[in-house]
Amino acid sequence: MAALCCSSTIIVSGKFSPRIRTHNQFPRLNRLKNQKRLITGRRSLIVGSIIEDREAIDMKSDNFEPEEVQKVEEDMNRDTDRLMSRGINAAIVLAAGTVAVTKLLSIDHDYWQGWTLYEVLRYAPEHNWVAYEQILKTNPVLAKMAISGIVYSLGDWIAQCYEGKPLFEFDRTRVLRSGLVGFTLHGSLSHYYYQFCEALFPFQEWWVVPAKVAFDQTVWSAIWNTIYFTVLGLLRFQSPGEVFGEIKTTFWPMITAGWKLWPLAHLVTYGVIPVDQRLLWVDCIELIWVTILSTYSNEKAEAQASSGETDSITTHSSKVYDCSFCFKNLSSKFNLEHLDVCPYRFSKLLCYLQQD
């Protein structure tokens, strides 16, 4: 029995000991392998998801940009353009002002030796006036053209500031247009007009001054306002119909607005001021009048532009409505709802075919 037990124990130990050993030795290795597999699987999943997200973001960025990003970019571009425009305008104003002040104050620079600052400032206005009278004798038309160009530019700048724009955010093109009209037309035409008016009324009676004022505020005012609005409309590249409509709507209001300012001013013009000096006096009053003219002209132009935009929007919306109405009617008659087509494009095509 003892031998049998020993043999049995030997047999059992010989047969089953390897299984028991493998069962007791390898579980730790299997657990480590499983953990490594899980970790590598998780890493691969994480890396794959990150790659997919990046590809999706790249595809979205290639196809379109979000509206918020576009708005931010537009705001940044608008602010940059505004700052650049403001800097250019400030540079132009400072340069023009510096040149003008230097030219006026340095009229006596050949005689400054031994002068004090008080003497320079004291004699500068008088000597500038003498120089202006000499230019009027040598080249009167060019001098009056230059004065009118400066006055019309300043008047338009004042008009823009009166409309609510900041000091250095004015429209340079608009100022240039107004100054160009003043330089090329107002100075030269006014020079010959005042000579014509003196030849038309060569009398020295008491009624001559009121007659000149009446002629100025009816005939000449109508002619000049028409020329002003016509040239400004052509410089804005408006059509002849738009220019004629602007003249038609502003003609009578501008005449009546001039009656509130010019009759009293022209009593001084034709009764006190000499013929050669009249344009300078009139240009000083023109700073107020050009502000009114420029405000009227640009209000009408902006109103026409806004009305054109609203008309285009209403016509586009009416076309969309007609096409959608056509699609609804056809889909009610024919069973078109099961078709995988865009209602607007399909109905637009049908409307086009019906028109033909």
Residue 94 lies in a domain: yes
Residues 118 and 221 in one domain: no
Q: Are residues 262 and 148 in the same domain?
A: yes
pLDDT at 349: 41
Residue 267 scores a pLDDT above 80: yes
pTM assigned to the model: 0.61
More confident call, 185 vs 345: 185
In this model, does residue 324 exceed pLDDT 50? no
* Same domain? 112 vs 255: no
Domain-located, residue 111: yes
Say yes or no: 350 and 206 in one domain.
no
Buried b (16+ CB within 10 A) or exposed e, 101-110: eeeeeebeee
Do 290 and 238 share a domain, yes or no?
A: yes
Cβ atoms 268, 281 nearer than 8 A: yes
Q: Comparing 33 with 101, which gets the higher pLDDT?
A: 101
134 and 213 co-located in one domain? no
Domain that holds residue 337: 324-355
Instruction: Identify whether residues 268 and 223 lie together within a single domain.
Output: yes
75 found inside a domain: no
Total count of domains within the chain: 3
What one-character DSSP code corresponds to residue 341?
A: S
Q: Is the pLDDT of residue 197 over 50?
A: yes
Rounded average pLDDT over 74-98: 89
Q: Which residue has the higher pLDDT, 12 or 205?
A: 205
Whether residue 268 is found in the same domain as residue 201: yes
* 251 compared with 25, residue with greater pLDDT: 251
| Residue 189 included in any domain | yes
Asked whether residue 288 falls in the same domain as residue 335, the answer is: no
Tell me whether residue 38 is in a domain.
no
CA angle 62, 64, 69 (to 5 degrees): 110
pLDDT band at residue 356, thresholds of 50, 70 and 90? Answer: very low
Task: Name the domain boundary from 105, 138, 171.
Answer: 138
Q: Using 50, 70 and 90 to split pLDDT, how confident is the model at 302?
A: low
What confidence tier does 199 reach under pLDDT thresholds 50, 70, 90? very high
Domain contains 154: yes
What mean pLDDT comes out for the span 122-145?
91
**Residue 2 located in a structural domain:** no
Asked if the model's pLDDT at residue 316 lies above 50, the reply is no
Which residue's structure tokens are 């056509």? 326
- Mean pLDDT of the region 36-62: 58
**Considering the domain boundaries, does residue 33 fall inside one?**
no
- 126-135 own/partner pairs: CB under 8 Å, 24+ apart: 128/104, 131/107, 132/280
Integer angstrom CA distances of residue 157 from 148, 163, 227: 14, 10, 20
165 lies in the same domain as 266: yes
Residues 288 and 334 in one domain: no
**φ and ψ of 85, to 5 deg:** -65, -40
Is pLDDT at 258 greater than 60 in this prediction? yes
Same domain, 291 and 213: yes
**Cα 343 from chain centroid (whole Å):** 38
